[in-house]
C-alpha cells in the first residue's frame, strides 16, 4: 500500500475509465502515459473490463492499472487475476476489504460517513475513497474530516473535474483525486487518444502548479 500511496500522491489524479472494447485498452493506456498520467482505474461495469485490465497489465507494464466499481469479492479476485494492482470500491464492503487485506492487494474502499471512516481505521486503512464527493459536501466535508481524522487521506471521487481539481488538491488530507472527465467513453469509442493525452497533460499541470515537482 505504501508504494501505491506514494505513486498516487505524486500523480495527483487517477483517471477513471469505462471501457467497452478490450482492443481499446492498450492505446488508451499509452495515451494516458504520453500525457504524464501512467495510471488507470478500469471500472468493472462492462464485459470488457477484465480483458482490458489483462491487456494493459501485459502490454503496458509501466502503467499502474487498477479495478474500480468492485462490488463483490468475486470481482476483486477476477480483477487481481487479470493483473489489477489495486482495487477501488464505491462503498465499504467488509468481504472485499478483508479479502484484499488478506491477500496484500491495496484497497481503496468508498466512505461517505464518519462511521465508515472508523471502519476503515479499525482495519488499518489510512487511505479511503470519498464518494460521491461533491454531493456529500466536497471540500467543506473534507476539511471537517481533517480535524477529526488527522491520519486519514482521501481520494475524492464524484463531481471532481478540471474546474475544481486544484482546490481539492490544496487540501492536506487529499492524496489524489479520481475522475472520468479525462477519459469519456465517447472519446475512447472515437479513438480520440490525442485528446485524452492533452487532458492528462492539463491535469498533470494543475497538479504541478498546486504541489510542485
Using CA atoms, how far apart are residues 7 and 52, in angstroms rounded to an integer? 21
Which of the following is catalytic: 3, 5, 23, 41?
41
Which of the following is catalytic: 74, 77, 129, 186?
129
Active site residue 129: yes
- What SS3 state is found at 199? helix
Active site residue 201: no
Strand-by-strand arrangement of the 87-89 sheet? 153-156, 127-130, 107-111, 87-89, 64-68, 39-43, 13-17, 177-179
Using CA atoms, how far apart are residues 164 and 150, in angstroms rounded to an integer? 23
8 Å CB contact between 89 and 101: no
Active site residues: 41, 129
Amino acid at each position: 500500500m505504501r508504494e501505491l500511496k506514494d505513486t498516487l500522491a505524486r500523480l495527483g489524479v487517477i483517471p477513471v475509465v469505462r471501457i467497452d472494447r478490450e482492443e481499446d485498452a492498450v492505446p488508451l493506456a499509452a495515451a494516458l502515459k504520453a500525457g504524464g498520467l501512467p495510471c488507470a482505474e478500469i471500472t468493472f461495469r462492462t464485459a470488457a473490463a477484465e480483458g482490458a485490465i489483462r491487456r494493459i497489465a501485459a502490454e503496458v507494464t509501466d502503467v499502474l492499472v487498477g479495478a474500480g466499481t468492485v462490488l463483490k469479492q468475486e470481482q476483486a479476485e477476477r480483477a487481481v487475476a487479470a493483473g489489477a494492482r489495486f482495487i477501488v470500491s464505491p462503498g465499504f464492503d467488509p468481504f472485499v476489504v478483508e479479502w484484499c487485506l488478506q491477500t496484500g492487494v491495496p484497497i481503496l474502499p468508498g466512505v461517505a460517513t464518519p462511521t465508515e471512516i472508523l471502519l476503515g481505521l479499525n482495519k488499518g486503512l489510512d487511505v479511503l475513497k470519498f464518494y460521491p464527493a461533491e454531493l456529500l459536501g466536497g471540500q467543506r466535508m473534507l476539511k471537517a474530516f481533517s480535524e477529526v481524522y488527522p491520519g486519514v487521506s482521501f481520494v475524492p471521487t464524484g463531481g471532481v473535474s478540471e474546474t475544481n481539481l486544484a482546490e481539492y488538491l490544496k487540501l492536506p488530507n487529499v492524496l489524489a483525486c479520481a475522475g472520468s472527465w479525462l477519459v469519456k467513453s465517447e472519446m475512447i469509442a472515437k479513438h480520440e487518444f490525442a485528446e485524452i493525452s492533452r487532458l492528462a497533460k492539463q491535469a498533470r499541470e494543475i497538479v504541478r502548479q498546486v504541489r510542485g515537482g
